[in-house]
Amino acid sequence: MSALFPVVVHDVMPEGTDCVRLRLGAKPGQGVLPRFAPGAHVDVLTPSGLVRQYSLCGDADDPGFYELCIKREAASRGGSDSLCRTVEKGMELHISPPRNAFALPAAQHYILIAGGIGITPLLSMMARLQRQGADWALYYYTRTPDQAPFRDRLRAAPYASRVHMATSLKQGYPAALSHPEADTAIMLCGPDGFMQAVSSHTIAAGWEPAQIHTEYFRPTEMTSDDDEQAFEVVLARSGRSMTVPPGQSIAGALMAAGIEVSLSCEQGMCGACVVPLLAGEGAHRDMVLTEAEQAGSIALCCSRARTPSLTLDL
* 98 binds ligand FES per the rule CB under 6 A: no
Closer of 215 and 286 to ligand FES (Cβ):
286
Rounded CA-CA distance 164/166 in Å is 7
Closer of 149 and 268 to ligand FES (Cβ):
268
Q: Kindly provide the b/e burial profile for residues 123-140, where b requires at least 16 CB atoms within 10 angstroms of the residue's own CB.
A: bbbbbbbeeeeeebbbbb
CB of 52 to ligand FES, least distance (A): 12
**Please, are residues 50 and 78 in contact by the beta-carbon 8 Å criterion?**
yes
CB of 276 to ligand FES, least distance (A): 15
Q: Which of 299, 305, 312, 314 binds ligand FES (CB under 6 A)?
A: 299
Closest by CA to 213, choosing from 201, 193, 199, is: 199
Closer of 84 and 299 to ligand FES (Cβ):
299
Closer of 299 and 305 to ligand FES (Cβ):
299
CB of 249 to ligand FES, least distance (A): 9
CB of 266 to ligand FES, least distance (A): 5
**Please, are residues 22 and 9 in contact by the beta-carbon 8 Å criterion?**
yes
Number of amino acids touching ligand FES (CB under 6 A): 14
CB of 220 to ligand FES, least distance (A): 13
248-287 footprint of ligand FES as x/- string (CB under 6 A): ---------------xxxx-xxxxxx------------x-
CB of 267 to ligand FES, least distance (A): 6
210-249 footprint of ligand FES as x/- string (CB under 6 A): ----------------------------------------
Rounded CA-CA distance 126/139 in Å is 12
Rounded CA-CA distance 9/88 in Å is 7
Closer of 177 and 300 to ligand FES (Cβ):
300
CA distances (Å), 123 to each of 39, 79, 238, 245, in order? 9, 23, 44, 42
Report the helix count and the strand count for the chain, using DSSP H and E: 6, 18
Closer of 81 and 266 to ligand FES (Cβ):
266
Bridge partners, residue 25, by sequence: 8, 65
CA angle 220, 270, 105 (to 5 degrees): 95
Rounded CA-CA distance 98/76 in Å is 23
Closer of 157 and 261 to ligand FES (Cβ):
261
Full DSSP string of 270-307: S-TTEEEEEES-EE---SSS-HHHHTTEEETTT-EESS
CB of 15 to ligand FES, least distance (A): 26
User: HSE-up of 288 (CA within 13 Å, CB side)?
Assistant: 24
CB of 209 to ligand FES, least distance (A): 20
Q: Which of 114, 301, 312, 314 binds ligand FES (CB under 6 A)?
A: 301
Which residue number is nearest to ligand FES in terms of Cβ? 301
Closer of 123 and 298 to ligand FES (Cβ):
298
Site residues, ligand FES (CB under 6 A): 263-266, 268-273, 286, 288, 299, 301
